[in-house]
Homo-oligomer: A and B are copies of this chain.
C-alpha cells in the first residue's frame, strides 16, 4: 500500500461518499487511465511520455487506497460511533442542520447486495465509471489542461471528503491524497510553462490566419437587450495568448440567414403534409 489506510470508526455512509473518488468523473480511475492512455498514445517529446507513465502508475495505488478505505468503512460499525457522527458539525451543516443519524444506513443496499461490502467501479450514486471521461487528444497542451482540470476537481473533492470525516485515519489518508493533487496540478502546469507562451491558442499548429479575424477576440453579449461592457479582463486589453486585442460586442447580431433545408427524401417517409409544403412553396400561384 502506497500510504497507510486506517479507519478507527467505520462509517458506511462515508464509504459511499468515498466511491466518488474512485469511480466518479473527478475520481482516481479517470486520472489513472487518462495518464496511461496519454502515455501510450504519446507522439512527441519522450520525456512527457515517461512523466505520464510514472504518474499514471502512481494513481493505481490511489485507487487501491480508496478501495481499501471503502471496504474498511463498510465493516461493522457500532452504534456509539454513529451517535458521535450524528453530532459532527460539518455533516450537520451540509445536510441542513438535522441530525446525521438519518444519513446512516442509507444508500448502502448496493454495497451489501452486489459487492459483499467491498468497493465498486462506480461513483457515490452507484453510476458506473464511463470510459468517455478518459481524454487523450493527441495534442499535448490540450491534454495538460485536461489534466489540470482533473486534478483541480479531484483535489476539491478530496478536501470536501476531508471535511466530511473526523476519523483520524481517514483524515490522514486524505491529507496524503490532497498533497499529491497539489503536486499533480503543479506538474501539468509545469509542462505548460515549459511549452512556453506560444502554446496558445491550442492547437498552435493551425495557421491562425485561417480563422475568422473579425470574431476571434471579441466577447459577445447575447441578451435580449444590449449590455454595457463588463468590468472584466476578457473584454478589453491584450488577449491572454498575446496574439490579439479583446473587444466587446454589446449585443450579438446574427449574420447568417434562417436555413432552408430541402424537402424530405420521399423514401424516408415523412408525413405527406411535409412533402406537400414544398410543392406548395414552388407552386407560383400559392404561398404558405
Contacts and interface: CB of A to CB of B under 8 A. Distances in A.
A170 to B, nearest CB: 13
Contacts of A60: 36, 60
Given A115-B138, A123-B126, 20 more contacts: A20-B113, A23-B131, A43-B274, A45-B277, A95-B105, A113-B157, A114-B137, A114-B157, A116-B136, A126-B126, A130-B132, A135-B149, A137-B156, A138-B156, A141-B152, A182-B208, A185-B200, A185-B202, A186-B200, A187-B234
Interface in A237-282: 239-241, 244, 246, 252, 254-259, 261-275, 277-278
Contacts of A42: 261
Interface string A73-108: 001111101100000001101111111111111111
A123 B130 CA distance: 12
A186 to B, nearest CB: 5
B148 A145 contact: yes
A8 interface: no
A76 to B, nearest CB: 6
B137 A116 contact: yes
B101 A76 contact: no
B126 A128 contact: no
B108 A105 contact: no
The copy count of this chain in the complex is: 6
30 contacts: A1-B254, A2-B254, A2-B256, A5-B256, A17-B113, A41-B67, A43-B117, A43-B261, A50-B230, A57-B223, A75-B262, A78-B97, A91-B105, A98-B101, A118-B138, A120-B131, A122-B132, A139-B152, A139-B271, A145-B145, A155-B203, A159-B206, A162-B210, A163-B267, A175-B212, A179-B212, A182-B244, A191-B232, A193-B240, A196-B273
B272 A131 contact: no
A217 B186 contact: yes
A64 interface: yes
Nearest to A118: B41
A142 B212 CA distance: 29
B137 A110 contact: no
A90 to B, nearest CB: 5
Contacts of A205: 266, 269-272, 275
